[in-house]
Homo-oligomer: A and B are copies of this chain.
Amino acid sequence: MPAIDVAGEFETIRRLFAPLAHPEWGRGLLDDVAVVPSKPGFDLVLTKDTIVEGVHFLPTDPLDTVAQKLLRVNLSDLAAKGAEAFGYLLSCGWSERCGWPEREAFAQGLARDQKAFGVALLGGDTVVTPGPATFSLTLMGWTPKGRAVSRGGAQPGDLVFVTGHIGDGWLGLEAVQDKTSLDMERVAALVEHYRRPVPCTDFLLPVRDMATASIDVSDGLIADLGHLASASRVAVDIDLELTPLSGAAQAWFEGRVDPQAALEKLVTGGDDYEIAFTANPRDEPALRREADRRHLRLTCLGRVTAGKGVTARFGGEPVAFETSGFTHG
């Protein structure tokens, strides 16, 4: 019953992945395990995400960007927790379209991002699948002991912040499916965001130091704030008109006849990979300084109150959402 792998499991590991191995802990990918020494005074923070062709990426997406997206969506999870990533385990389920050139592209994408984000490969496995290509990644990072930011610490009175821009995730998916009528440069920026989102690792230290609760925006801003509110047993009240838009999103938004409906799309679309977090108002000046130092946009969207759920307002009035967010199946 074993499926035949034309490229070979061992040869794939030796040629493509061994050069990516962590120099000390990956055992050259020649063992079944990775061995990571304890880091006393630190906690190990772990996350695991899987992406499937046709569900989380398109069959036409180049495999170097698929690899980068896989790594980056996991980096985004750790960044929102204030954890610094150091390594990952990878499972590749190669489909029929994954010959040597595609696998090489995949490894090249990883090599670029390993360098950019300071992580290295620790282990994993490769299999072939008769179905769509499927990749799973377990990312590991450290925080000082007890300092991983949870979803559950928001307090009434806290402010609600989000890094960067919201909506490029949803618009990127539209763009990659040729569903937008923007100019070529805007479309290219959105496609780039869809294929290679930029996790907000730059801001993880301020988040660790000052956020009372935090989550990365992957399901959609409203849905993810809902997760945070629920875990913190509080309500979140935000103003939709404050939603920070990129240049491309702003251009798209200005072409809409119904601005409220347009904003609703952007805040429920997901795949933004920004950090949504809450913080005590006394920390706002320090958060703004940290954001400015990094040339990073930081937007206060509203406030935490007693109660439950997310209230998003447009023109001061609460908006009812049909769907609370993108569900990755």
Determine whether A145 belongs to the interface, using a CB cutoff of 8 Å to chain B. yes
**A131 in contact with B52 (CB, 8 Å):** yes
Determine whether A49 belongs to the interface, using a CB cutoff of 8 Å to chain B. yes
From residue A148, how far is it (CB to closest CB) to chain B in Å?
A: 5
Determine whether A42 belongs to the interface, using a CB cutoff of 8 Å to chain B. yes
> Which A291-329 residues have C-beta < 8 A from chain B?
326-329
Determine whether A245 belongs to the interface, using a CB cutoff of 8 Å to chain B. no
| Contact status of A128 and B32, CB under 8 A, knowing A41-B38, A93-B52 | no
Residue of B nearest to A44 (CB): B36
Instruction: Tell me the complex Cα distance, A9–B327, Å.
Output: 7
**A327 in contact with B2 (CB, 8 Å):** yes
Residue of B nearest to A138 (CB): B138
Determine whether A288 belongs to the interface, using a CB cutoff of 8 Å to chain B. no
Determine whether A231 belongs to the interface, using a CB cutoff of 8 Å to chain B. yes
**A78 in contact with B43 (CB, 8 Å):** no
**A32 in contact with B81 (CB, 8 Å):** yes
As for how many copies of this chain the complex holds, the number is 2
**A138 in contact with B33 (CB, 8 Å):** no
Which one, B32, B33, B130, B134, contacts A54 given CB within 8 A?
Answer: B130
- Among all A-B residue pairs, the 8 with the closest Cβ atoms: A131-B131, A128-B329, A5-B329, A136-B136, A50-B91, A40-B40, A48-B89, A32-B77
Which one, B83, B215, B327, contacts A8 given CB within 8 A?
Answer: B327
From residue A223, how far is it (CB to closest CB) to chain B in Å?
A: 10
**A35 in contact with B43 (CB, 8 Å):** yes
A residues near B (Cβ < 8 Å) are: 1-5, 8-10, 27, 30-52, 54-56, 58, 77-78, 80-81, 83, 89-91, 93, 122-132, 134, 136, 138, 143, 145, 148, 150-152, 173, 177, 215-216, 227, 231, 326-329
Which one, B10, B38, B49, B143, contacts A91 given CB within 8 A?
Answer: B49
Contacts of A328 in B (CB 8 A): 2, 9, 125, 127
Q: List 6 A-B pairs, Cβ < 8 Å.
A: A1-B177, A35-B46, A38-B44, A50-B136, A52-B93, A125-B328
Instruction: Tell me the complex Cα distance, A123–B78, Å.
Output: 13
Contacts of A32 in B (CB 8 A): 47, 77, 80-81, 215-216
Query: Dominant SS at the A interface?
Result: mixed
Contacts of A5 in B (CB 8 A): 327, 329
**A45 in contact with B34 (CB, 8 Å):** yes
Instruction: Tell me the complex Cα distance, A102–B33, Å.
Output: 30
Residue of B nearest to A47 (CB): B33
Which one, B31, B39, B122, B231, contacts A38 given CB within 8 A?
Answer: B39
Instruction: Tell me the complex Cα distance, A217–B329, Å.
Output: 35
**B36 in contact with A38 (CB, 8 Å):** no
Instruction: Tell me the complex Cα distance, A128–B131, Å.
Output: 12
Contacts of A143 in B (CB 8 A): 35
